[in-house]
Structure 1
Amino acid sequence: MKFHPAGHKIIRNTFILVIAFNLIGWLFVSHSFFSGLISLATLVVLVLVLQFFRYPDRKVAVNPKNIISPADGKVCVIEETEEKLYLKRKCLKVSIFMSPLNVHINWVPVPGKVTFSMHKEGEFYAAFKDKSADENERYCTAFQLADGREIMANQVAGAMARRILNFLKKDQQVTQDMEMGFIRFGSRVDLYLPLDTKLNVKLGDKVTGSQTIIGELS
């Protein structure tokens, strides 16, 4: 199993802590039941950390007319709303909620040019709540398509996710087989799409990052 570079330091530190707690348990805890309990608990933590930072090998079918899912998870919001930060117009919003068990890599949803990139500080409400889209800490990225239209993808922090990584820079040319970023420990990604986008998903659908086609551009 491969692990994402965003997790290498955390994985290393987790291994060190697991070894340290087990040494303390077996050397200084006289009762074998409690030392065994420490070993079991640290093993569970290690497995959870390793699965969280797993790095799947995925082949991306590049198609400029398709909007690919930027994340693994479940579609939790589909609605018409106004994007007020940058696009400043009515959009079709599609939100994907990522649980701690999902792969947390975020992919570029459409090919084009990065026209807007901004980290916005905020709160840490549970990512599945509606107010998290406007009030939570987030990283906002807009992409300009070849025909001049723009879409936006917001990486939103959650109650557990306190660190958003974004790998893109303003004016950078991107393709759909590139990574947009990584969010640690549960969160969501909000897509703001043109109103005439033909959606291929519905509320409650499970989607796979870089694989599922969220919708088709007109």
Structure 2
Amino acid sequence: MNMMSTFVKPMHPEGRRFVAIFAAIALVLFLLWEPLGWLGVGATVWCYYFFRDPVRVTPTRPGLIVSPADGVVSLIEPAVPPAELNMGETALTRVSVFMNVFNCHVNRTPVAGRVETVAYRPGKFFNASLDKASKDNERNSLCLEIADGRRIAVVQIAGLVARRIVCFTAADAVLATGERFGLIRFGSRVDVYLPEGVAPLVVVGQAMVAGETVLADLTSDEARREGRAA
């Protein structure tokens, strides 16, 4: 890895028109007043950075569930999956990963499986770090059927400034662990509902890397982990 690749990451195609818009605004600002133009350049660089899509190295051992998003674990609690996925009324362990506007926002499949359901539901735009965001905010939900027949829910949730959830997949698609399946524009959150009896291997406050950080292990009987800030 050279120095350039350390700082310059590929950009997801979804971001091209936004970078073009920011760049055009920066040009107009330069014509109005040069200091404003440089602010526009800074905003354009940030927009490019927001839509970055770096290569990730995904662990391939069967049974591992990886984080679907960059960010921080904001909540771990029992919750019923979204009704539109028809996964029943049993509360499952929900792990929420909150993404701020500086995180990479490309979402990746947490585990290999077949997409059983994709369901979009409009809603509000509360701060995505709040618990009520899972229930009230705009969301796009996926139900993945894994090899042993169990199902995992992955829910993209719009946040306070997010106004567009993008999903790249559809029902009956077969996805690999770590495969890109969507993107949320600006601050947002992704929830993962683990199968019954599966404990998370992460703790609230832990930093996550999409497609790399192991969130849970379907083959493990390890109890839920505890952690502390240091």
TM-score (norm 2): 0.87
Distance between the aligned counterparts of 2:118 and 2:62, measured in 1? 21
* Secondary structure class of the residue paired with 1:94: strand
Task: Measure, in 1, the Cα distance between the counterparts of 2:31 and 2:57.
Answer: 42
Greater CA drift, 173-182 or 84-93: 84-93
CA distance 1:55–1:84, shift in 2 (3 Å):
closer
Q: Please report how far the alpha carbon of residue 43 of structure 1 lies from its aligned counterpart in structure 2 after TM superposition.
A: 2.3
SS at match of 1:199: coil
Paired residue for 1:106? 107
**Cα distance in 1 for residues equivalent to 2:199 and 2:178:** 22
| 2:198 counterpart of 1:197 | yes
Deviation at 1:67, TM superposition (A): 0.5
Q: Of Structure 1 and Structure 2, which has the larger fraction of its residues in strand?
A: 1
Count matched residues. 208
The CA distance in 1 between the partners of 2:124 and 2:180, in whole Å, is: 25
Render the CA deviation track for 1:112-163: whole Å, top value 9, x for unaligned: 1000101100000010111000100000001001111000000000011100
2:46 aligns with 48
Query: 2:64 maps to which residue?
Result: 66
Q: Residue type of the partner of 2:25? A: L
* 1:185 matched residue in structure 2: 186
C-alpha separation between the residues in 1 aligned to 2:123 and 2:204? 26
Task: Give the 5 Å matches for 1:151-170.
Answer: 151-170=152-171
SS in 2 for 1:198: coil
Residue 80 of structure 2: SS of its match in structure 1?
A: strand
Task: Verify the 8 A CA contact 1:71 1:105 in the aligned structure 2.
Answer: yes
Q: Aligned to 1:49, what secondary structure does the other structure show?
A: helix
1:109-188 correspondence runs (5 A): 109-188=110-189
More divergent stretch after superposition (196-205 vs 165-174): 196-205
Q: TM-score, normalised on structure 1?
A: 0.92
Indicate how the Cα distance of structure 1 residues 57 and 84 shifts in structure 2: closer, same or farther if over 3 A, else same. closer
54-63 or 153-162: bigger deviation: 54-63
- Displaced runs of 4 or more, over 6 A: none
SS in structure 1 opposite 2:16? helix
Counterpart secondary structure, 2:19: helix
Structure 1 residues 193 and 4: CA distance shift in structure 2, 3 A: same
Q: Which residue of 2 aligns with 1:9?
A: 17
CA RMSD after TM alignment: 1.2
Q: 2:97 and 2:178 mapped to 1: Cα distance?
A: 19
Give the whole-Å Cα distance in 1 for the aligned partners of 2:160 and 2:64.
Answer: 31
Cα offsets for 1:181-200 (capped at 9, x unmatched): 00011100011111311321
Q: What is the deviation of 1:14? A: 1.2
Give the superposition deviation at 1:176.
1.0
Matched residue SS, 1:22? helix
Counterpart of 1:118, as a letter, is: A
Which runs of no fewer than 5 residues in structure 1 stay unpaired? 26-34
- Contact kept? 1:62, 1:177, Cα under 8 Å: no
Query: How many Å apart are 1:84 and its aligned residue?
Result: 4.4
